[in-house]
Chain A
Amino acid sequence: MLEKAFFIPFYPLLAFLVIVFFTRWKEKLSSGISIAMVLLGFLHSLAVLIAMLGRDGRPLELAYTFIDHPSIKLELGMWIDGLTAVMLMVVTIVSSCVQIYSLGYMKDDPRWSRYYSYLSLFTFSMLGLVIANNFFMIFIFWELVGLTSYLLIGFWFEKKSASDAGKKAFITTRIGDLGFIVGLMILVAYAGTLNYQEVFAKVTSGAIPANIIALAGVFVFCGAVGKSAQFPLHVWLPDAMEGPTPVSALIHAATMVAAGVYLVARAMTLFAGSASAAMVIAVIGMITSFIAATIALTQNDIKRVLAYSTCSQLGYMIMALGLYGVDLAHDPHTHSVGYYAGTFHLMTHAFFKALLFLGAGSVIHAVHTNDINDMGGLSKKMKITTTTFFIASLSIAGIFPLSGFWSKDEIIAATVHHPFFMTVTLLIAFMTAFYMFRLCFMTFTGEPRDKHRFEHAHESPKSMTGPLIALAFLSVFAGWVGLPWLKHGFSWFVYHGEHQVHHPNYILMVVSTVVALSGIGLAYLVYYKKAISADAIAERFKPLYKLSFNKWYFDEIYDAVIIKPVLGFTRVLWWFDANIIDGAVNGSGWLTVKWSDLKMWFDKYIIDGAVNGLGYICQAGSWALKFIQSGSVQFYALFMLGSAVGFVIYRVTPDGFYYYLAGVVILALARLLSRISRTNRLKTEPDIEG
């Protein structure tokens, strides 16, 4: 099964093709095929995971080379190691849950089959992305997930905001992808290959200059910045929440946005080849994490809070990976846990964030609004949703012994050599716990603030609660594979360079638990007990509150700094186009017409004149020559005799021939003249012809 792991992406692709070409009109069948195929992929991934566990995460590579040239080598292939195996599991599990959940959530949607075909296509792309063995393939699948993300964000394209959000996501990530492809070009130029292992070998052997490594690293990281919604390209992710909620859970929380983190982890050797590039990554991750956490504090749209939370958590992972790169660049035998922390958090986050989104979807399904100000008290009506949502929130806040606790702990542990990062990380952990529980308390506890909506609220159907329970289970237990006491835990399986064993850090565990609990406690006081007025705090720190509430004015700044000037510039270009370019085009057209008029005149009078003139000359010449045919037999005989005599003379003496000819012509002219005078004379005589 391990050697056949490349089949995994093809199951959903098959589902996509079958739905698109055959079962489009049979909606139930379409969704059935899609779910069956993703479950098949899940089983296969499970087999691969077990096989990989059996070989302690030793990597396996299978590749077919289709371009092999000294300057560029391109392959189609798969690279399976611990990280790939884990990612395959994450993608197939979340995708399965989301597809089953969608059976309830997307009920009665007119574009049901299309929805499932998109989900299958997305799953195919994401699986292809994680299984690829070279940068070329990852880039192809990278763009494919971007495409499906665009299609699914704008799935309800009748809504202007949804189609706008799709475009925004597509264009923003494209900016990052431009950097990505530039980075790949640099790699091709200097390494001549895009295969991960070959590129990494060249990086570590010093075959590529250090500054080039840094440059390539930063450019490749641009791709991750776009896809993982990192500062400064994070603006698309909150808007992407216009898509259906299960899509948000699958693509914009659990898997696709994790692709950037995956890329950073996958290409760690490249980034670690330059301490400065790794530092850029760590700083970007930290800035994103901090900004997104502060924005999440004040948002009122349930999905937007989760979106900013996603941004923040992704920033966490990127920061941990970046710090690992920094440590590795300084000390090749570092004991930094950053790599393990980032990838471990990637996995646990996928489960609990998918759960949070699906829970939010369940709430929205019940009350038909996104605004948490219109919710409250829903725990009475929605027991399962509430329980699972709280489990996920505890997990993301990092409460012992849920999975988020173990991974978040490692991220904090990754910052131990960087005090500033550690401070910020703890601050973010505090804010995370606070805004998650603000969300929980405002949604599920207290008095219903909108009685009408509350009356109509109801628990979601089994197809929706089932995945919630499954994901809740994973949110609790998935992190246990990385328990610090395990000798052969997650860090033994997913590693960079060599197997790593790490040791529990009890001080950090206590600190992080205290931070998380204080965050939850503050939220409890403000939003549950109402001992502290939220409005009063907002009033007290008004500038900060406004900054957070308006998302640090990023959209406004981009609008003023980029969009407006670009639009102005395009208007100038339009003017240029309409007047100068079109003028030139029309002018050249006018010139062409005039020139052809000229040519027509030439044709008519010079060329045709020459042709007709030639014809006329021929006609005139033949008119003159026709008089030789006089009708007189004796004249003919004379002509023959003259010619024969002339020929003889010519053969005997060529010079004499001309004299002869001249004599003949003179005689002929004399004869002609006498003939004319005689004819005139004869006119007077009577005609005797009878």
Chain B
Amino acid sequence: MLQYLALAAILFAIGVFGVLTRRNAIGILMSLELMFNAVNINLVTFNKYVGGDVLAGQIFSLFVIVIAAAEAVVGLAIVLLLYRNWRGIDVDRINVMKW
């Protein structure tokens, strides 16, 4: 079990690092997908080892995958609009939504 959890933790850490450090909006979305996947692995793992006969973890991860796909659509649409308005998708420059 530990190796699965370690894999999920490493994946999640990589995802967090990517979200926090990537300047490219596409890269951030991709890192987000990594975090989702880390969560999914976690869910499946726990379901397999401590969840008993119920398949709640597996089913929940399916939901997460679907929702993540929908979220990626919204995210990419925002990125597209950002590109049109800023002529670029460098998130460092996109900081006008403040005080």
Contacts and interface: CB of A to CB of B under 8 A. Distances in A.
Interface of A: 626-627, 629-634, 637-638, 641, 689-690
B90 to A, nearest CB: 11
A92 B95 CA distance: 113
B95 A630 contact: yes
B92 interface: yes
Contact of B98 (A630, A637, A689): A630
Contacts of B28: 634
A360 to B, nearest CB: 110
Nearest to B98: A631
A626 B99 CA distance: 7
A689 B20 contact: no
B96 interface: yes
Contacts of B84: none
A629 B20 contact: no
B9 to A, nearest CB: 13
Contacts, number: 28
B97 interface: yes
A690 B91 contact: no
Contacts of B20: 634, 637-638, 641
A631 B96 contact: yes
B11 interface: no
8 contacts: A631-B95, A631-B96, A634-B19, A634-B28, A637-B19, A638-B20, A690-B86, A690-B87
A496 to B, nearest CB: 109
Given A626-B99, A629-B98, A631-B97, A641 B16 contact: yes
A664 to B, nearest CB: 14
A109 to B, nearest CB: 96
A88 B37 CA distance: 124
Nearest to A690: B87
Contact of A633 (B16, B86, B91, B99): B91
A128 B98 CA distance: 97
A627 B98 CA distance: 9
Contacts of A626: 99
Interface of B: 16, 19-21, 28, 86-87, 91-99
A632 B99 contact: no
A690 B95 CA distance: 14
Given A630-B95, A631-B98, 20 more contacts: A627-B99, A629-B98, A629-B99, A630-B98, A631-B95, A631-B96, A631-B97, A632-B91, A632-B92, A632-B95, A633-B94, A634-B19, A634-B21, A634-B28, A634-B91, A637-B20, A638-B20, A641-B16, A641-B20, A690-B86
Most buried by A among B86, B97, B99: B99
Most buried by A among B19, B21, B92: B19
Contacts of B96: 631
A690 B93 CA distance: 11
Contacts of B94: 633
A660 to B, nearest CB: 17
Contacts of A632: 91-92, 95
A674 to B, nearest CB: 15
- Top-4 shortest CB links A-B: A631-B98, A631-B95, A626-B99, A632-B95
Contacts of A637: 19-20
Contacts of B86: 690
A630 B19 CA distance: 17
Contacts of A631: 95-98
Contacts of A634: 19-21, 28, 91
Contacts of A638: 20
Contacts of B19: 634, 637
Contacts of B87: 690
A630 B96 CA distance: 8
A641 B20 CA distance: 10
A690 B86 CA distance: 7
Contacts of B99: 626-627, 629
B99 to A, nearest CB: 5
Nearest to A630: B98
B73 to A, nearest CB: 18
A641 B15 CA distance: 12
B3 to A, nearest CB: 23
B60 to A, nearest CB: 21
B22 to A, nearest CB: 8
A675 to B, nearest CB: 12
Contacts of B98: 629-631
A223 B42 CA distance: 115
Contacts of A690: 86-87
B15 to A, nearest CB: 11
A406 B57 CA distance: 138
A170 B34 CA distance: 115
A632 B28 CA distance: 13
A176 to B, nearest CB: 94
Nearest to B19: A637
A346 to B, nearest CB: 108
A633 B29 CA distance: 12
A645 to B, nearest CB: 10
Nearest to B16: A641
Given A629-B98, A637-B20, A689 B91 contact: no
A426 B21 CA distance: 141
Contacts of B95: 630-632
Most buried by B among A626, A632, A638: A632
A489 to B, nearest CB: 120
A638 B19 CA distance: 9
Contacts of B97: 631
B93 A689 contact: yes
A689 B93 CA distance: 8
Contacts of B92: 632
A443 B92 CA distance: 135
A603 B95 CA distance: 46
A397 B97 CA distance: 126
